[in-house]
């Protein structure tokens, strides 16, 4: 997702303002709730925020961030090592049987749903096996547009057949209908049988869309969308207020099951030097309340951090030089003197501009459409984008597989590459597509989100394409509208970023699997039977040289068909205010806020 602000005018203003704020920092007022002796954690959401708090209806980072405070999954990424998972609603890790075709699960004791009027006497009940099966079945319910069906399609024995029969014309969806692969042993134990071993399956059970929800609360509301505004889960926090596009407030769940801060030995030596282990073994959550504020623009978020009003901030690229010395990438003294710390995080990142392959102009797998998309790729200079908008802190690479994962091209450059700028070849490809010098090609529409320096990024994109005769009409909308436009296939070209859900290239390659088309994760609506057949092979393969070779073949097919312009991976820099304790920001998952504490004496 492209995020930015009016760079030149804003920075000239913010520089002296920030200096004044840093000098006057002790005057920053505490929120009224903090004055009532509550521990309150104030956090930013760097867009207009989530559209829903219903796990099965969510798909964005921002819905993940919100949903993960209220609901929980069977498995969860570890705070001390987000590239591994641990039991959360389970008593122990699942038992792998029949070479990964069958898994046996045991639920954790003492887990209760939040209180809600749907329950007898309004008191939350104990979570049981039926809740797991019900929650997964919701992903197959057409009322939720199959937005997350791609996660479990062709995975669980009998589940695809269940989906087809329950969504047939004239049929009322029956959540009590059996699924062959759901085997209940008792209220705490169950098995899930797969059609065939699927390597990613357990990772899927750590994703927020598979959170466990109570049937009574969902069915308490006549409108299926209402649950997303009146949620009740098992998570460490309960909803207080959700005002879309403005704020989200949650409070401590007083009946939260026992979860403790990671033990000292789980932290690396570097983490221990940063005192991340100091709360080891203590029960979480630490804070009484979390207050999220949605920031469509970066300027107010940056100012609120500078005033000490929010715990941390993802440093917007246009403010990098205010916080860091560019040559050394060290924090400037005026920040360090206030006790502000920083952390750098290399993302499993895929920044791209996508094409709607159903579009009659830019889409299609015929030579005309393919050569037009290749020409657009060749006209764009990603290095200039990196220097201008990301302070050079990105890796440019071919294909959709980010650095650090099997299938990423060595040195970032694949054997087949259309990465620009190569204006001569771009003009040649444009002519071969039937548009010499851009003649006869209609103006193309590019959708991206408002805020940040996106307006400036779009202008650079227009300039790059204009050099070869391609005209671009920018359409800047709020993030929710951007998601809607891609889901409904209105966006001809669109700008996004994808952060891998788990550390395996299969997650990124799934974005181009035909059956995952919009409103699923395949927003490109790319449909290539040969690619789909390869994907169906790799999704059931264990890691190894054979699978990596297929990853590389699929990567190169995508580069040739060019359903996107890319790619870039960011290193994210965060600043943390001194009153936020135990904070190590990560975008690998978003249920880590329960581990954060606050010390109001340091505000």
CA separation (Å) from 333 to 25, 156, 329, 510? Answer: 15, 55, 12, 45
Residue with tokens 């002790």: 26
pLDDT of residue 280: 97
Q: How far is Cα of residue 137 from the mean position of the Cα atoms in its chain?
A: 22
57 phi/psi in degrees, rounded to 5: -100, 0
Q: Of the residues 206, 234, 262, which one is the last residue of a structural domain?
A: 234
| H/E segment holding residue 570 | strand 564-576
pLDDT digits (tens, 9 = 90+) for 430-474: 999 999 999 999 999 999 988 778 899 999 999 999 999 999 999
Mean pLDDT of 104-131: 98
* Among candidate residues 219, 213, 231, the one with its CA nearest the CA of residue 53: 231
| DSSP designation for 83 | T
Q: Do the strands 493-499 and 444-449 form a parallel or antiparallel pair, or are they unpaired?
A: parallel
* Among candidate residues 461, 510, 500, 472, the one with its CA nearest the CA of residue 587: 500
CA separation (Å) from 215 to 135, 164, 176, 233? Answer: 8, 21, 11, 11
210 and 105 in a single domain? The answer is yes
- Is the pLDDT assigned to residue 5 strictly greater than 70? no
Percent of the chain with pLDDT over 90: 83
Q: What is the rounded CA–CA span in Å between residue 204 and residue 155?
A: 11
Write out the two tokens for 277.
């282990």
- Is the pLDDT assigned to residue 31 strictly greater than 90? no
* Among candidate residues 442, 525, 451, 438, the one with its CA nearest the CA of residue 490: 525
CATH of the domain at 364: 3.10.105.10
- Confidence band, pLDDT 50/70/90 cuts, at residue 305: very high
474 and 551 in a single domain? The answer is yes
- Is the pLDDT assigned to residue 25 strictly greater than 80? no
Residue 124 lies in a domain: yes
> How would you label 510-523 residue by residue, b for 16+ Cβ within 10 Å and e otherwise?
bbbbbbbbbbbbbb
Q: What is the rounded CA–CA span in Å between residue 243 and residue 241?
A: 6
200 and 144 in a single domain? The answer is yes
24 and 93 in a single domain? The answer is no
CATH of the domain at 201: 3.40.190.10
- Is the pLDDT assigned to residue 3 strictly greater than 90? no
Q: What is the dihedral of CA 508, 86, 40, 63, to 10 degrees?
A: 30
CA separation (Å) from 539 to 459, 542, 556? Answer: 39, 8, 18
Q: What is the rounded CA–CA span in Å between residue 155 and residue 176?
A: 20
CA separation (Å) from 311 to 215, 227, 362, 583, 585? Answer: 35, 29, 43, 9, 11
19 and 124 in a single domain? The answer is no
- Confidence band, pLDDT 50/70/90 cuts, at residue 78: very high
| DSSP designation for 236 | S
pLDDT of residue 48: 86
561 and 531 in a single domain? The answer is yes
Residue 62 lies in a domain: no
Mean pLDDT of 166-184: 97
Q: Would the CA dihedral through 224, 225, 227, 231 be positive or negative? A: positive
- Is the pLDDT assigned to residue 18 strictly greater than 70? no
pLDDT of residue 33: 47
Mean pLDDT of 23-43: 62
Residue 383 lies in a domain: yes
Residue 495 lies in a domain: yes
125 and 197 in a single domain? The answer is yes
Residue 305 lies in a domain: yes
441 and 496 in a single domain? The answer is yes
Question: Beta partners for 293?
Answer: 44, 247
pLDDT digits (tens, 9 = 90+) for 322-343: 999 988 889 999 999 999 999 9
399 and 447 in a single domain? The answer is yes
Mean pLDDT of 517-545: 94
Q: Going by C-beta distance under 8 Å and a sequence separation of 6 or more, which residues neighbour residue 254? A: none
462 and 497 in a single domain? The answer is yes
**Secondary structure class of 450 (helix, strand, coil):** coil
Task: DSSP for 139-196, please give it.
Answer: TT-GGGTTTTGGGTTTTBTTHHHHHHHHTSTTPPP-TTS--TTEEE-SSSEEEEEBSS
Residue 64 lies in a domain: no
Q: What is the rounded CA–CA span in Å between residue 342 and residue 315?
A: 10
pLDDT of residue 452: 75
550 and 431 in a single domain? The answer is yes
424 phi/psi in degrees, rounded to 5: -65, -45
Q: What is the rounded CA–CA span in Å between residue 293 and residue 309?
A: 11
539 and 508 in a single domain? The answer is yes
Q: What is the rounded CA–CA span in Å between residue 206 and residue 81?
A: 14
pLDDT of residue 37: 84
Angle at 440 between CA 434 and CA 441, to 5 degrees: 85
Q: Looking at the chain, how many residues does it have?
A: 603
Write out the two tokens for 511.
């974005």
Residue 55 lies in a domain: no
Most distant pair of Cα atoms in the chain: their distance: 73
Residue 184 lies in a domain: yes
Mean pLDDT of 546-567: 97
**Secondary structure class of 477 (helix, strand, coil):** strand
* Among candidate residues 596, 171, 578, the one with its CA nearest the CA of residue 338: 578
> What range defines the domain where residue 427 resides?
349-571
The count of structural domains within the chain is 3
Q: Of the residues 178, 203, 234, which one is the last residue of a structural domain?
A: 234
Q: Of the residues 215, 234, 253, which one is the last residue of a structural domain?
A: 234
CB 39 within 8 Å of CB 597: yes
pLDDT of residue 36: 61
pLDDT of residue 22: 52
Q: What is the rounded CA–CA span in Å between residue 419 and residue 428?
A: 15
């Amino acid at each position: 997702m492209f995020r930015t602000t009016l760079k030149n005018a804003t920075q000239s203003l913010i520089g002296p303002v920030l200096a004044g704020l840093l000098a006057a920092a002790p005057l920053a007022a505490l929120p009224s709730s903090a004055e009532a002796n509550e521990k309150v954690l104030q956090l930013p959401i760097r867009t207009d925020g989530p559209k829903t708090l219903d796990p099965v209806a969510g798909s964005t980072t921002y819905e993940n961030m919100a949903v993960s405070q209220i609901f929980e999954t069977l498995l969860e990424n570890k705070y001390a090592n987000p590239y591994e998972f641990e039991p959360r609603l389970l008593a122990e890790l699942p038992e792998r049987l029949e070479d990964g075709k069958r898994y046996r699960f045991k639920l954790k004791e003492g887990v209760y749903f939040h209180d809600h009027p749907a329950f007898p006497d309004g008191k939350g009940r104990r979570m049981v096996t039926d809740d797991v099966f019900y929650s997964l079945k919701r992903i197959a319910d057409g009322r939720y547009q199959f937005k997350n069906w791609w996660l479990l399609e062709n995975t669980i024995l009998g589940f695809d057949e269940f989906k087809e029969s329950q969504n047939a014309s004239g049929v009322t969806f029956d959540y009590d209908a059996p699924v062959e692969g759901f085997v209940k042993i008792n209220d705490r134990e169950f098995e899930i049988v797969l059609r065939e071993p699927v390597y990613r399956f357990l990772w899927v059970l750590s994703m927020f869309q598979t959170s466990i929800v109570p049937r009574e609360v969902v069915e308490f509301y006549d409108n299926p969308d209402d649950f997303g505004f009146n949620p009740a889960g098992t998570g460490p926090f309960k909803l207080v207020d959700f005002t879309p596009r403005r704020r989200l407030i949650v409070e401590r769940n007083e009946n939260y099951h026992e979860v403790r801060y990671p033990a000292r030995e789980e932290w690396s030596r570097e983490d221990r030097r940063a005192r991340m282990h100091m709360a080891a073994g203590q029960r979480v959550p630490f804070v009484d309340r979390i207050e999220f504020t949605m920031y469509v623009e970066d300027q107010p978020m940056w100012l609120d951090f500078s005033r000490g009003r929010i715990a941390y901030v993802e440093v917007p690229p246009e403010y990098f030089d205010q916080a860091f010395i560019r040559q050394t990438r060290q924090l400037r003294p005026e920040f360090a003197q206030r006790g502000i710390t920083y952390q750098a995080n290399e993302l499993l990142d895929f920044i791209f501009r996508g094409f709607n392959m159903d579009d009659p102009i830019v889409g299609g797998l015929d030579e005309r459409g393919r050569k037009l998309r290749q020409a657009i790729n060749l006209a764009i200079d990603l290095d200039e984008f990196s220097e201008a908008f990301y302070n050079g802190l990105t890796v440019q690479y071919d294909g959709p597989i980010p650095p650090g994962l099997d299938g990423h091209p060595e040195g970032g450059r694949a054997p087949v590459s259309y990465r620009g700028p190569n204006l001569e070849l771009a003009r040649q490809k444009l002519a071969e597509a039937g548009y010499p010098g851009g003649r006869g090609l209609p103006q193309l529409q590019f959708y991206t989100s408002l805020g940040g320096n996106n307006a400036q990024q779009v202008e650079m994109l227009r300039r790059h394409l204009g050099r070869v005769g391609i005209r671009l009409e920018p359409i800047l909308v709020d993030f929710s509208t951007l998601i809607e436009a891609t889901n409904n296939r209105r966006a001809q070209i669109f700008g996004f970023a994808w952060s891998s859900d788990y550390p395996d290239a299969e997650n990124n390659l799934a974005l181009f699997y035909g059956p995952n088309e919009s409103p699923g994760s395949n927003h490109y609506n790319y449909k290539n039977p040969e690619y789909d057949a390869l994907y169906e092979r790799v999704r059931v393969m264990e890691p190894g040289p054979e699978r990596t070779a297929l990853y590389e073949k699929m990567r190169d097919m995508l580069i040739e068909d060019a359903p996107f312009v890319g790619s870039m991976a960011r290193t994210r820099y965060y600043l943390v205010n001194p009153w936020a304790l135990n904070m190590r920001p990560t975008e690998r998952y978003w249920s880590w806020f329960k581990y954060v504490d606050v010390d109001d004496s340091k505000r």
